[in-house]
Amino acid sequence: MHKDDVLRKTILSLICVFVFALNWLLSTVYVSPARSMIFEPQQSMPVTLVSKITHISTVMKKATIPAQARHASWYPLTSRLRSPRNTNIPDAQDVKDMPLFDISFSDPRGNLLSGWMALNAPHAPVIILAHGTPGNRMSMLQRAVFLFEHGYNILLFDFQSYGKSEGPLSTLGLVESEDILAAISYVHTVPDTVDSKVGVLGLSMGATAAMLAAAKTKQISAVVAESCPVDATRVASDVPNDQVRNADRQLVRMVYGVDITRARPIDAVKRISSHTALFFVNGDKDKETPVSGMYALYQEARKPKQYWVASGAKHAQAFDLQRSEYIRRVSLFFDTYLQ
């Protein structure tokens, strides 16, 4: 009788596990926004998935700023890594420029990252747009619009600690490179883009993150690095002097266990394989990331590679000042290496 009771309990437990698993599976069935737009063209369709990737951070749980850091004498110097969060971002359904839907996915540290996606056609390449600092996905919206109109699927998101995404502080592109890898992981869980090629358009800090991410994976087929620094911790507007740089280094090490001075695209570009095409864009009046730095990055990069210097443009102004030429060149680049 005892054996029969044990057997019955075991069978009952297995049935419960099966029913629970089936219920979870049915509750997470994905509906393609590209197909559902035929019936609900303005409907916002949030999708939340946790991406699993190898990461550089030694912190396995959601990072916070330790009390000893907040009370340290050098802490006030790190204010540029802790810019006030701008959450004045509309819901996807309220953006009329293109048919966006809300998405969210987790980075390796457990922060929930917030973004948008727009699906043009199943299996078409996906362009991930990576913003600068200070900023969020809104600063990349108009670039996303022309790429969508050109036929690409689009993913915009806020880096950790920016916009509506969670996270304690910026790392000028170092930890943010993991966010791009998490976004790629997310793209490949969406049925309409599971096998899509991926390109990244990164601006300033976003360009740093894109370069560092491309050095870690072959899943990025093409990168536009706009106003990309040689060393992100030497950009005067973000890190005005060595005292600030050292304070930033201490804080990031305490929070993430990594060295922010490794946010150096000039080192990463040497590790990017020829599988990834690179396009460097810079303004000739840029004092934050001078054109001389762009030439240095270009010289270290492997082929295929190209560059464009936008006449009269200061930092991150190429798109605004020479929009038609920017659109022509960037579209041609992505068409060449993603189609």
Coil, helix or strand for 87? coil
Nearest to 256 by CA among 77, 65, 69: 65
Are residues 120 and 149 in contact, defined by beta-carbon separation less than 8 angstroms?
no
CA–CA dist 261, 234 (Å, integer): 9
Predicted pLDDT at 339: 87
Buried b (16+ CB within 10 A) or exposed e, 60-70: eeebebeeebe
CB atoms under 10 Å from CB of 82, counted, come to 14
Predicted pLDDT at 62: 83
The token pair at 267 is 């080192």
DSSP 21-39: HHHHHHHT----HHHHTTT
The CATH architecture annotation of domain 40-338 reads 3-Layer(aba) Sandwich (3.40)
Predicted pLDDT at 87: 79
CA–CA dist 170, 172 (Å, integer): 6
CA–CA dist 83, 150 (Å, integer): 34
Coil, helix or strand for 186? helix
Tell me the CA distances in angstroms from 118 to 28, 96, 100, 107, 110, one per residue in order. Answer: 20, 12, 5, 21, 25
Looking up tokens 């929930």 gives: 112
| Whole-model pTM over 0.95 | no
- Helix (H) or strand (E) segment spanning residue 144: helix 141-149
Domain boundaries, the chain: 1-30, 40-338
Q: What angle do CA 327, 141, 88 make, to 5 degrees?
A: 160
Task: List the chain pLDDT tens, one digit each, 339 residues.
Answer: 455 555 565 665 665 555 455 444 443 334 444 433 332 333 333 343 433 444 444 445 688 999 999 999 999 999 999 977 877 899 999 999 999 999 999 999 899 999 999 999 999 999 999 999 999 999 999 999 999 999 999 999 999 999 999 999 999 999 999 999 999 999 999 999 999 999 999 999 999 999 999 999 999 999 999 999 999 999 999 999 999 999 999 999 999 999 999 999 999 999 999 999 999 999 999 999 999 999 999 999 999 999 999 999 999 999 999 999 999 999 999 999 998
Coil, helix or strand for 50? strand
Q: In what order do the strands lie in the sheet with 277-283?
A: 47-50, 101-106, 112-118, 153-157, 126-130, 198-203, 222-226, 277-283, 305-310
Predicted pLDDT at 32: 46
CA–CA dist 65, 201 (Å, integer): 30
